[in-house]
Structure 1
C-alpha cells in the first residue's frame, strides 16, 4: 500500500491540503456564529450581523468546494489503487507455474483479485474522505472548545475514552470474524465452481440433492459470519448516538447553569456545542475506518501473500545459469553454444512432486533432432504429459538437465524458450471471442488466407466454413460450443500459425476418428518436415511412423525404438498395439 500511495503522492498531498482547508473553514464557523449571537443579535448590531453573515456564507461555500474537490481526488486515487492491485495480482499469477496456482487454488486467487481488492479499495476511499479532516477536526475541536469554556471541556475528556473503549472492543471482535469470512467466501466460491464445472457428473449420478445440501451448508456458514459482523457494526451506531446525545444534553445542562451564573456567554455555549459535535463526528468517522480496516487488513494480507510468492519457475538471473538441482547430471554440465536449432536432449531427467512418495519420472534420457518425430506412449499415469511439460518449463526437473540446441533450457529467458516451441496442450482450451481471435493467439499478424491454410491443414476448414460467420463465428468460454474433436483441430490450427523449431503435441489426436487422424497426419508431415516434433499419444496408429518411440512404464523409460523394433522387443508396446489394432480393425 505504501508503494501505491507513493505513486500518487501529489494527489494525496492535494487531498490533505483540501481537507485542511475544509476543516479550517468548518472550525471557523462556530466562532463566527458565536460572535453573531453575542455581538450582533444580543447587542442589536445589524451591520455586524450582515458582515459576519457574508463571511460565514463565503467560508461555507469554500468548505463545500474543498470537500467536493477532496472527495473527487480521493475517489480517483482509490480507484487507481484498486486498478494497480488487480494488475499486479494478474501479472504475478501469470508468472506462476501450475504448482504455484495449485498452492493457492483457483477460487482463492479469483477471490483475492476481485473481492479482496474491492475491500481495500473501499477502505482507501473511506480513508481519503477523512485523511486529514478527521484528525484536524478532532484536535481543532478540542482546542477551540477548551478556548470557549475550559470547565465544560471536562465532558469531552470523559466522552473520548468511552468512545475509544467501544471502538477497541468492536474492532477486536471484528478481526477474527472478517478473517473467517474471507475463508468462507473462498469455500463457497470453490463449491460453486465445482458444481458448475461438474454439473454433468452431478446430474449423471443423481447427486443434485447432496450438492444442494453441500452448497446450502457453505451458504449458511457464510451468512452467519456476515450477519455476526454486520450486527456488530450495526450496534456501533446506536452506541455512538447515545453517547453523542447524552454529551449534548450534558453540555446544554451544565452550560445553561454557567450562563445563568454569568460564567459563560450564550454564543460561547452554541459554539461549544458545535465543537463537541465536530469532535464526536470526527470520532465516528474514525470508528467507521477502524471497523472497515480489519476486513481490508485481512484482504491485504491475502493479496500480499500472492505478491510475495516468487514463481517456482523463473528465468535465469543476470550473470548466467541458475544452480543445477543437487545430485543431477546438470551439476557438471555447462551450456555450450548459444541456443540454435531444435535439437532436444534429456539427460538423466527425473521429476517428483513436492511431498510425493515416489518420483513421476526417473532417469529419462533421449535425444530428438530436427526433421524427426519422437513419440511418447505408455499407460495412464506413466508420466507422458509430465515429461512433455518439462520442455517449455511448465515444470522443472528435480534432477538431470534438458537442453535445446545444445543449451540448458534453464539458461534461457522463459519467453525466449517458449517462443521456440509451438504447443497443442492435452486439454483443448479455447477462449471466448471468435474463431479468428483464437487462431491469432498463435499468429497475431496472420492474414485470413493464412488462417484458412492452417484450418485446412488441421482438417478444420470444412466445419468452420459451415459456421455462421466463418472465421468470425463466436466461440464460447472454453470452446464449449464445439465438440472435442473440433476443439482439438482448432488448437492444432492455432499451433500451426506459430512457426517454431519444436512442436509439442500432447495427446492432441485422441478425439479424432481414424480417417480424420490419418488425413491430419498426412497434411502435417510435409509442413513439419524440418522441425523437431514430440507427440504424446494413446493411439498407436497415430505414431507408428515416428522415427523413435519412447515407452514409459511407471515413470521409467522401458523401451525405445521404431514401431517395428518395439513390436519385436517390447512386451508393453506389443500389448498396447495389439489391443488398439483389434479395436481399429473391428467393424
Structure 2
C-alpha cells in the first residue's frame, strides 16, 4: 500500500486539510462533556443562575455548528483526494497493462485484470477516503478522552486506559486474521469473473455442444467457494462490533462503580461523573467507526497487494542495454531474423534457430501445421514478444532498440481474430491514420474487397459498428480489418491468417489488389492455403518451430516434402 501512496502527490493539500478539519471537529467534541459538567456543577448546583446555563447551552450550539461545518469540509477534501487517487492509480494501472507482453496478459488472465482495475481499485479508494476522515480523528478522540479522564480523576483514568488497551488487542488481532482471508476472497472473485466472461464469450459454442448444465455447475461451484470465503471473513469481521460493545459495556460498569465511590467520597463532582460517562460513550462511538475503518483498510491492503503485483511485474519486452549490445545486428537487409529462438513463460521453444532475410517491398508467405510457430514468428516483428535468443532486426536495427512506438507505426497488423471497435466504420478505419480522408478510406476498403460491405450498410462509412463488430459476419470483419491496416499505409503489412473466412475467389482478388498497391509495402502473409501464398517472393515453411523449407512456390514443390504434402492435399480438395 505504501508504494501506491505516490498517487496522492497531486492532492497533498486536500490530504492534509481533510484530517485537519476532522481533528478540529474532534476537538470540539472533546470540549462538550466539560461544558455539560460545568452546567451541572456551576449552573445547576453552583447557583450561577439561568443566564449561565443559557450561555453555556448557546456555546454548545455554536460548537455543534462549527463542528458540522468542519465535518462537511473534511468530507469534501477526503472525497476529492480519494477520487483523484483512484483516477491516477487506474490510469497508471491501465498504462502498465498496456505495456505487458502477450504472454504476461495470458498468464494473468483478462478477468483478473478487470477485477484489479475495477473492484480492487474501488476498494482501495474507499480505504483512502476513510483513512483521511477517521485514521487521525478516531484515535484522537479515544486517547483524548482517556487523557481528559486522567485530568478529571487518575483512578478513573486507569479504567479508561485498561479498556482501550484491551480494545486495541481485539481490533488489531481481528485485522491480522482477516487480511489473508480478504486476499483469498478476492482470488475467488477472480475465478467467478473468469467463469462469467468465459461463458459470455463462448455462449454459442456452449449451446452448440449442450454444455450449459456443466457450465452452470462449474459456476455454482466457484460461486459457492466465493460465498463460503466471504461468509467466513464476514463472520470474523462481524465479531468486531459485539466484542467492542461488550468491552465498552464492561468498562462502563467499572467506570460507574469506581466513579460512584469517588462521588460518595467527595473526590468527584456529579458533573465530572457525567463528563466521564460521556467520554466513555464517545469512545464507544469512535471505536465502532474505527472498527469499520479497520475492516475497510484490511480489504484495501489486500486489494493494494493485488494491484501492486501488476506494477511489480517485470516487462518481458525490455530494452536491456547489455543484451542489445551482445545481440547480433543485421546490415543491408530490410528485415532479418538471425538465429532466433522464442519461447513462452519458460516452456519449450516455440521457434528454434530461425534465420532469414527479407528485402523491402517483398512478399513473404509463411505456412505450416497448427502450432508450428507461424503467429509467434510474425509477432516478433512488431515486438509483441521478445526473442529469447538471437536478434530480429528492421532496417539494420535490433527491434529492442528501435522503440515500440516507432516500430509499430511502421507496421499494419491484421490478427487472426478480426476485431472491430464500437463506433462507426469511419472511426474504425482511422485508427492507424486519424487524418485519413474519405477517399483514402474508400480506396483501402476497395482494395480489401469490402466495398460491398460498406454499401450494404445504412449510412455507409457512418454505419454503426457494435463492440467487437458483432453486427458483421466473420468474412466482413476480416475484410474491414484488412482495410483498416491499409488505410495506415504501413511499410510492413502483416496478415496473420486474415483471409481464413474468405472464399477462394475473394481471397484471390484481395491478393491481386495487394500487388497493385502504389506504395509497395513489405508483406507477410500467414496462411494455411498454398493458393494464398504461391505468388510470394519467398515462402517459409515451418514445422514444430523450425524452418522445414524456404524458397518460391516452384522451388518448394521440388525440395520440401512438407510443403508438397500440404499443397497436393489442398489441390485435390479444390479439384474435387
Q: 1:450 to 1:322 in 2, by over 3 A?
A: farther
Equivalent in the alignment of 1:331: 326
Deviation at residue 529 of structure 1 after TM alignment: 5.4
Q: Where does residue 448 of structure 1 map in the other structure?
A: 438
Q: Which residue of 335, 349, 366 corresponds with 1:344?
A: 335
Displacement after TM superposition at 1:349 (Å): 1.7
1:97-116 mapped onto 2 (5 Å cutoff): 97-116=101-120
For the pair 1:181 / 2:185, whether they are aligned, the reply is yes
C-alpha contact 1:244 1:280 (8 A) present in aligned 2: yes
Alpha-carbon offset, residue 437 of structure 1: 2.1
- 1:72 aligned to 76, 82, 95, which one? 76
Distance 1:356 1:234 in 2: 46
- Secondary structure of the residue aligned to 1:393 is coil
Scaled by the length of structure 1, what TM-score is found?
A: 0.93
Contact 2:185 2:226 in 1 (8 A): yes
1:145-185 deviation digits (Å, cap 9, x = unpaired): 22222222232123123322322342233123212111111
CA distance in 1, matches of 2:188, 2:63: 49
Q: How many residues align?
A: 572
Secondary structure, aligned partner of 1:108:
helix
1:524, CA displacement in angstroms? 1.7
- The offset of 1:254, in angstroms, is 3.7
The answer to whether the 8 Å contact 2:328/2:338 transfers is no
Please state how far the C-alpha of 1:235 moved relative to its aligned partner: 2.7
Q: Supply the distance in 2 between the matched residues of 1:441 and 1:39 (Cα, whole angstroms).
A: 79
> Given that residues 188 and 222 in structure 2 are in contact (C-alpha distance below 8 angstroms), is that contact kept between their aligned partners in structure 1?
yes
Question: In structure 1, how many angstroms separate the alpha carbons of the residues matched to 2:280 and 2:530?
Answer: 86
Corresponding residue of 2:236:
232
Counterpart pick for 1:150 among 130, 133, 154:
154
Aligned mate of 1:550, from 540, 551, 576: 540
Q: Structure 2: how far apart are the matches of 1:110 and 1:390? A: 27
Q: 2:507 aligns with which of 502, 517, 520?
A: 517
What is the Cα deviation at residue 436 of structure 1?
A: 1.9
1:474 matches 2:450: no
Alignment equivalent of 2:375, drawn from 385, 388, 394: 385
CA–CA distance in structure 1, aligned partners of residues 105 and 327 of structure 2: 32
Match of 1:26 in 2: 29
Displacement after TM superposition at 1:107 (Å): 1.7
Over residues 243-290 of structure 1, what are the superposed CA-to-partner deviations in whole Å (9 max), with x where a residue is unaligned?
333433443344344334332212111111122222333333322222
Q: Deviations over 1:535-566 (max 9, x none)?
A: 11111111111111111222222222211222
CA distance in 1, matches of 2:36, 2:231: 44
Q: CA 1:477–1:512 in 2, change beyond 3 Å: closer, same or farther?
A: same
Whether the 8 Å contact between 2:361 and 2:521 is mirrored in structure 1 is yes
Q: Which residue matches 1:538?
A: 528
Structure 2: how far apart are the matches of 1:334 and 1:559? 24
Secondary structure at the counterpart of residue 534 of structure 1: strand
RMSD, aligned CA: 2.0
The DSSP-based 3-state class of the residue aligned with 1:8 is helix
- Runs (4 or more) in structure 1 with deviation over 4 Å come to 334-337
Q: Which residue of 2 aligns with 1:414?
A: 404
Query: Are 2:122 and 1:127 aligned?
Result: no
Deviation of 1:378 (Å): 1.4
CA distance in structure 2 between the partners assigned to 1:549 and 1:529 by the alignment: 22
The answer to whether residue 305 in structure 2 is matched with residue 301 in structure 1 is yes
Q: Per-residue displacement from partner, 1:285-326 (whole Å, max 9, x unpaired)?
A: 322222222222111111111101121103x36xxx5514xx
Report the Cα distance in structure 1 between the residues aligned to 2:103 and 2:7, rounded to whole angstroms: 29
SS across alignment from 1:361 = strand
TM-score, with structure 2 as normaliser? 0.94
Gaps of 5+ in 2: none
The more displaced of 550-559 and 483-492 is: 550-559
Trace 1:3-14 onto structure 2 (pairs within 5 A).
3-14=6-17
Q: Work out whether residues 350 and 397 of structure 1, in 8 Å CA contact, stay in contact via their aligned partners in 2.
A: yes
Alignment of 1:367-386 (within 5 A): 367-386=357-376
| Shift of residue 44, structure 1, vs aligned partner | 4.7
- Runs of at least 5 residues in structure 1 that lack an aligned partner in the other structure: 325-329
> Do 2:489 and 2:519's aligned partners in 1 also have CA atoms closer than 8 Å?
no
Alignment partner, residue 563 of structure 2: 573
Q: Is the 8 A contact 1:346 1:364 kept in 2?
A: yes
